[in-house]
């Protein structure tokens, strides 16, 4: 590895609406080196990465005296045409939120082809071959090239984004939470791909993540950010084994198992609030002669007040499609859904049923579920108006109280979604769902965008809701540690079907199905968590 830095940042400071959000950050990345950047939500790590290609949100300003040099060239003074030539070419970026970046009206393969055509000038058979090779590299099957983004799982969407980033053969990759939406097995595949690229091509990476385990596996060096400042930087082993800063020690403590105690199993028989029987979900194929794609087959379960049911499975297994069908955002091709003893009509007709307000969903993609043109207060007022709360002052008070409950200050009510971090946006989405006072809350990867300390806070919040409101939770996640902490029961999906169902400790501690064993084996930290939780329950 050469000593000269490919990317060198010196005294980078950013301000947003007159408020400093990044202060005096300095680091360099050499060819072939991966630098991990970690920190809690709102620490400034993503803004630091976005500043390199000037992809900052409107109103963010790079302070005078800041320096960003790439291959010896100063980037802060470059005009937009020159910066645009670097984007996707010499420097590429993989974003945290793939659905906000993909064109909803273009098939996945067409979008990758567009990137290859733009940066490499290929056409015809050469273009089709390059797209197929990129799909294979990121672990996507060839038929998925014909699907629109909404028909892909969150993990598949992110892998399409990674393929697009690789299309221009970059020398520097800026990866902002690239594995956040992936289950553990696919996460391992993507990390292995990125490590191989770094070794084979001399690719340098800035790898932004809140997951210390991922950074430890990926990075040569790691920098820890807190409140906009880089508080510690050094070799991964040094920072993770003997951290000097309080912030690094706090992140490590949160990762090393100081987690939420598990919910006690719900033992008293009660009438279910949600009953699902024979659920099937399909999507139309893309193209004149394409056949419908069946993604969920014969799924059934019951959920009582106070219960937490974990739904796990690999990317594309159908778990998010189950959630969307329950709240009327995907058509059921078969099956029945009963809420509080009443049948819910399929599809969007369910949203017009007043009873459907009692089932609410928190989405995996918070930016896609919040209106980017409306302030947070307006987003939180919607469920309060639906409940008949007409007084504006009372609506603001309720909204502020709910923000406090999810760990955000009242000042966030006046911000727009783009001015918040991914973790902050997800907490806003959770607050909005809770304001509707649901009896069933469907949580689709609600902690995937959050750092480990905020994950703990959200899990604790859900525990409190179960105790105070007798709330039923369907908790969908690829994070088996989180599921082990919070769920009474676990269902495992594979290929659109339930392959295993039972008590959490039994399913995750002694899995019977091969698909479940693969998920458990891909997460080596899970078994100590199960042992810790068992000791807490017995104690």
Percent of all residues in the chain with a pLDDT value above 70, rounded to a whole number = 88
CATH number of 1-90+174-255: 3.40.50.300
**pLDDT value, residue 261:** 40
Radius of gyration of the chain (CA): 23
Domain ranges in the chain are 1-90+174-255, 101-169, 499-534
- Give the pair of three-digit tokens for residue 242: 């003997």
236-289 pLDDT, tens digit per residue, is: 888 878 888 888 887 776 654 444 344 333 334 468 899 999 999 987 766 655
3-17 pLDDT, tens digit per residue, is: 588 999 999 999 987
Mean pLDDT of 372-381: 92
Within 5-153, residue ranges assigned H as helices are 45-52, 80-86, 108-120, 124-137
In the 3-class helix/strand/coil scheme, how is 133-149 assigned residue by residue? HHHHHCCCCHHHHHCCH
Find all residues with CB under 8 Å of 253, minimum gap 6, and list them. Answer: none
Q: What is the mean pLDDT of the chain?
A: 84
Mean pLDDT of 286-301: 79
Look up residue 61 and give its DSSP letter: E
141-173 pLDDT, tens digit per residue, is: 999 999 999 888 777 888 898 889 989 889 999
Interatomic CA distance for residues 459 and 258, integer angstroms: 12
CB atoms within 10 A of CB 265: 14
Could you write out the DSSP letters of every residue in 419-455?
GS-HHHHHHHHHHHHHHT--SEEEEESTTTTS-HHHH
- Given a contact cutoff of 8 angstroms between Cβ atoms, the answer to whether 153 and 320 are in contact is yes
Phi, psi of 10 (to 5 degrees): -130, 125
Bridge partners of 492, per DSSP, are 312, 500
Indicate the SS3 state at residue 288.
Answer: coil
Interatomic CA distance for residues 519 and 258, integer angstroms: 23
């Amino acid at each position: 590895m050469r000593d000269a830095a490919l990317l060198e940042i010196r005294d980078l400071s950013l301000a947003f609406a007159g408020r400093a959000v990044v202060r005096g950050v300095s680091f360099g990345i050499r060819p072939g080196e991966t630098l991990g950047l970690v920190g809690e939500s709102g620490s400034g790590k993503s803004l630091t990465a976005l500043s390199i290609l000037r992809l900052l949100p409107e109103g963010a300003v790079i302070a005078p005296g800041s320096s960003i040099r790439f291959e010896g060239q100063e980037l802060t003074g470059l005009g937009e045409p020159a910066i645009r030539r670097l984007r996707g070419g010499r420097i590429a970026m993989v974003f945290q939120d793939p659905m906000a970046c993909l064109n909803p009206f273009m098939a996945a393969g067409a979008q990758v082809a567009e990137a290859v055509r733009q940066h490499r000038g290929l056409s015809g058979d050469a273009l089709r071959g390059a797209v197929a090779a990129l799909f294979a590299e990121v672990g996507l099957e060839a038929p998925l090239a014909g699907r629109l983004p909404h028909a892909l799982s969150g993990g598949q969407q992110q892998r399409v984004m990674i393929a697009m980033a690789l299309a221009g053969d970059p020398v520097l990759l800026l990866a902002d939470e690239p594995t956040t939406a992936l289950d553990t097995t696919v996460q391992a595949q993507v990390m292995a791909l990125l490590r191989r690229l770094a070794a084979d091509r001399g690719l340098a990476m800035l790898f932004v993540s809140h997951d210390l385990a991922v950074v430890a596996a990926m990075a040569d060096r790691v920098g820890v950010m807190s409140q906009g400042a880089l508080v510690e930087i050094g070799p991964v082993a040094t920072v993770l084994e003997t951290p000097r800063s309080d912030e690094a020690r706090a992140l490590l403590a949160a990762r090393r198992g100081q987690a939420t105690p598990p919910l006690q199993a719900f033992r008293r028989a009660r009438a279910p609030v949600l009953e699902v029987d024979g659920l099937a979900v399909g999507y139309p194929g893309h193209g004149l002669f394409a056949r419908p794609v069946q993604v969920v087959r014969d799924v059934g379960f019951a959920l009582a007040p106070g219960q937490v049911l974990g739904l796990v499975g690999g990317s594309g297994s159908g778990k998010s499609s189950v959630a969307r069908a329950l709240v009327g955002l995907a058509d059921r091709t078969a099956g029945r859904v009963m809420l509080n003893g009443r049948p819910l009509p399929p599809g969007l007709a369910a949203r017009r049923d007043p009873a459907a307000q009692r089932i609410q969903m928190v989405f995996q993609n918070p930016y896609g579920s919040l209106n980017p043109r409306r302030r947070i207060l307006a987003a939180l007022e919607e469920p309060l108006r639906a409940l008949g709360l007409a007084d504006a002052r009372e609506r603001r008070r309720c909204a502020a109280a709910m923000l406090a409950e999810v760990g955000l200050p009242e000042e966030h009510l006046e911000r727009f979604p783009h001015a918040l971090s991914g973790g902050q946006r997800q907490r806003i989405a959770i607050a909005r769902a809770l304001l509707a006072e649901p009896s069933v809350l469907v949580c689709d990867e609600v902690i995937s965008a959050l750092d480990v300390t905020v994950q703990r806070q959200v899990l604790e919040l859900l525990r409190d809701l179960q105790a105070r409101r007798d709330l039923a939770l369907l908790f969908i996640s690829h994070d088996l540690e989180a599921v082990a902490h919070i769920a009474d029961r676990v269902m495992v999906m594979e290929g659109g079907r339930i392959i295993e169902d039972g008590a959490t400790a039994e399913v995750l501690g002694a899995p019977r199905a091969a698909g479940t064993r693969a998920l458990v084996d891909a997460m080596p930290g899970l078994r100590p968590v199960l042992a810790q939780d068992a000791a807490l329950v017995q104690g």
